[in-house]
Amino acid sequence: MENYFKKETFYNIGQDLFKGLEKGEDLTIALSGEETTYIRFNGAKVRQALNVVQGDLIMTLNSKNRTSSLRVGFADGKDQNSFESNLKSLKEALKELRAETSTLPEDPYLVPTENHGQYEREHEGSLPSASQLMEDILGPNQGIDLVGVYSGGRLLRANLNSKGQKQWFSTINFLVDFSLYDSAQNAVKEQYGGSHWDQKSFLQQIKLAKKQLELMAKPKVKVPRGHYKTYFGPAAVHEILGMMSWGAVSGSSWKKGESALGLLANEEKKLSPQFSLQENFELGLCPPFNERGEISKEKLSIITNGRLETFLINSKTAQEYNLEANGAGQYEGLRSPSILPGNLKEEDILKNIGTGLYLSNLHYLNWSDQRGGRMTGMTRFACFWVENGEMVAPIEDLRFDESLYRFFGENLIDLTQFTETFPEPGSYHRKGIGGSKVPGMIVKDFAFTL
């Protein structure tokens, strides 16, 4: 696929901007770009198809212990006219930053601009053309109510600063976020994502969804509140993992006494030796450098065999609390996490449940007791009651309230051998970057409250 954003253009514009800096000023420019195809469909028919090519720059000026940032649109710069237009608008933005910065108070925790080194990597993928995608997604599924959106293409992040830092990252990936509905409006939700389209794998996902939708037509079972042996599919584990970025893995939250992993850090609680969590930039979902250009390890172990290795610590938190930074982003959240797989085979899941619950998806997750590591949420789509190793019927929605020290700890029975990759689905303002790779898991005595 064509690459609209050129390294050389970005680098040349940066060098021209840096020449105009005054004494005592340092400038960082961070580029975000996308070349994305979106296909929206329902009733197994295309309702909207479009290509989005857009980019913007965040310029950050440090001057005399003060700092200010500004977002500026960035054209593709493929010819001299667009190059000059970009450069002109960015020079005007630099003047605005200079004027604004001069009015600000000094920042006692200002992180000085540094050269964090050079990094260049382009992850390739293989995606069909838009017309072929429409045929691959919708052709085999005529006559069923297939609803969803495909988003796929090239994502870009790059970073330069006046100290000599030079970084460039691009990746190609896709996500089909879809649901199947029956005539009674029962729904099964699935996702298929990655960097290389495989029609056989996609059709296998469809086949599984159809099988689950047939079960959804049965009368729903009302499950009394209580504790149940429960299987969480990878999509459900992905939702739980997302909560870890809300005040669990952050070094700042830990130092403020707000982290859900604080009890683990203080060795007051334990997690299962089967549970290991990493930031894994080898997945190619997002760059290992943050908005300042600080580079994380390609694999950063956060929890290894149940033991806390580190929190995510950005340079500002490190300076404020006298810690060692590890390349975390501004919000110290997970960007490319992976949970290591276990030993549970896919064909053994129902047998292992015996009698209990099979949960494909969760939603409405939140902390019910953040410092205590307690989480609440609800079941959603294709969740089933299992008896004697067989799916019996769908369940009415359940709310859970449970501690991560139980479901990732003493009650964790096993994790699946297989994993699924979930590229970031967000598209607000721009296509999101990042994602996760996770297995399913089976847990005993999981607490459902309503």
Kindly list the distances between the CA atom of residue 244 and the CA atoms of 26, 43, 229, in Å, as whole numbers in the listed order: 34, 36, 23
Residue 2 covered by a domain? no
pLDDT interval class at 111 (50, 70, 90)? confident
**Residue 160: CATH number of its domain:** 3.30.2290.10
266 in the same domain as 193: no
123 in the same domain as 22: yes
pLDDT greater than 60 at residue 179:
yes
130 in the same domain as 100: yes
Q: Decide which of 216, 239, 274 is a domain's last residue.
A: 216
Listed in sequence order, the DSSP H helices in 245-314 are: 251-255, 262-265
> CA 66, CA 106: separation in Å to the nearest integer?
5
- What integer pLDDT is reported at residue 145 of this predicted model? 93
pLDDT greater than 80 at residue 81:
no
286 in the same domain as 173: no
Domain that holds residue 297: 226-448
Are 412 and 275 in contact, with CB atoms under 8 Å apart?
yes
> CA 160, CA 255: separation in Å to the nearest integer?
31
> CA 407, CA 412: separation in Å to the nearest integer?
5
Residue 41 covered by a domain? yes
Residue 300 covered by a domain? yes
272 in the same domain as 398: yes
- Our CA dihedral for 182, 184, 185, 191, rounded to 10 degrees, sits at -30
160 in the same domain as 118: yes
138 in the same domain as 46: yes
249 in the same domain as 123: no
User: What is the model's pTM?
Assistant: 0.92
pLDDT interval class at 87 (50, 70, 90)? confident
273 in the same domain as 162: no
Residue 221 covered by a domain? no
pLDDT interval class at 82 (50, 70, 90)? low
Are 24 and 18 in contact, with CB atoms under 8 Å apart?
no
Give the pLDDT confidence of 237-246 residue by residue, as tens digits.
Answer: 999 999 999 9
- What integer pLDDT is reported at residue 45 of this predicted model? 92
Position with higher pLDDT, 236 vs 425: 236
> CA 243, CA 91: separation in Å to the nearest integer?
40
Residue 1 covered by a domain? no
Residue 238 covered by a domain? yes
Give the pLDDT confidence of 259-310 residue by residue, as tens digits.
Answer: 999 999 999 999 999 999 999 999 999 999 998 899 999 999 999 999 999 9
> CA 134, CA 115: separation in Å to the nearest integer?
45
pLDDT greater than 60 at residue 2:
no
Residue 27 covered by a domain? yes
Helix, strand, coil percentages, rounded to 5, for the chain = 25, 40, 35
Structure tokens at 209: 């969804």
Q: Decide which of 216, 245, 265 is a domain's last residue.
A: 216
Q: Decide which of 216, 244, 278 is a domain's last residue.
A: 216
25 in the same domain as 80: yes
> CA 37, CA 32: separation in Å to the nearest integer?
17
pLDDT greater than 90 at residue 426:
no
Angle between helices 130-138 and 199-216 (to 10 degrees): 40
239 in the same domain as 334: yes
Residue 267 CB partners (closer than 8 Å, separation 6+): none
Q: Which amino acid is at 435?
A: G
**Number of structural domains found in the chain:** 2
| Nearest residue to 177 (alpha-carbon basis) of 239, 235, 237 | 235
182 in the same domain as 54: yes
Residue 154 covered by a domain? yes
